[in-house]
Structure 1
């Protein structure tokens, strides 16, 4: 038999014993949002109904089995087995109610994603026409920009001995046929 208790505003803890496992499921819901988390602990079969207590650090669940007592700490959606029994002095006992089942999910499952439609191959770009704006002129092949009496120009041949891989940007030697960083064939 499973149990449920209210552990906070819009938050419930479900407890179930399946064989030697105690399964704790926390479920919280608020406007437009639902969260659920489950964890299983090896405790053995229950010999008594579980008990739950609210203390300063959250909720403590007490599980009694033929192997002894186990304590599970619940804080928000995280939970864990406590190494030693906590002091429950001054803790408020939380009422547990029996339920027929534990919800596996509060939200309906999402539909599987549909495969993407194949994309059309890209068409080659048309050469860019020179642009003019006032006394500024810019063209792409070769890349050049003129504004007033200033001019910036980049031809295919780079001045000096510096050469760079067009794939990854790593500097390469003029005699290299392949980039040493990415293996791209150099032109």
Structure 2
């Protein structure tokens, strides 16, 4: 593959990846019912509204899950993979493309969870009271708390140290490893 095509492929991955990341963040924040009035939530809403609002009129939500966001992410990821296959002159069936798209979206969601837990850990060391002051930390807490709470019940803090983030991160990396073995991403 020529240098120009490699650069174009990287550009496609960057553009699609950033927008899918923004839609995934919005999806996760809606799923955990994060503060809608947070400035970052508002920014995510403004970035995704032009595409998601018309889709929502056609595709309703189900059991608190925004199916329009899921369909948008799947479509964008499948188009990205299709373009990359076209550029590299490779081929894959639609079913294989969709399986890889779903796996990569799950992988992205897991990485967002791991990142939010790590940010929360670092902030708790630097400034334990920042959760009540910083909009980023408030959203990170909103994302990580639903997955941390059940583990914290099983593994309460010992001696003032909370080991539950380590267990959750280990479990999330296990999910990534299983996904890698099944799909090969």
- The two structures have a TM-score, normalised by structure 1, of 0.17
Structure whose alpha-carbon radius of gyration is higher: 1
Structure in which a larger fraction of residues adopt strand: 1
Structure in which a larger fraction of residues adopt helix: 2
> Greater RCO between the two (CA within 8 Å, min separation 6)?
2
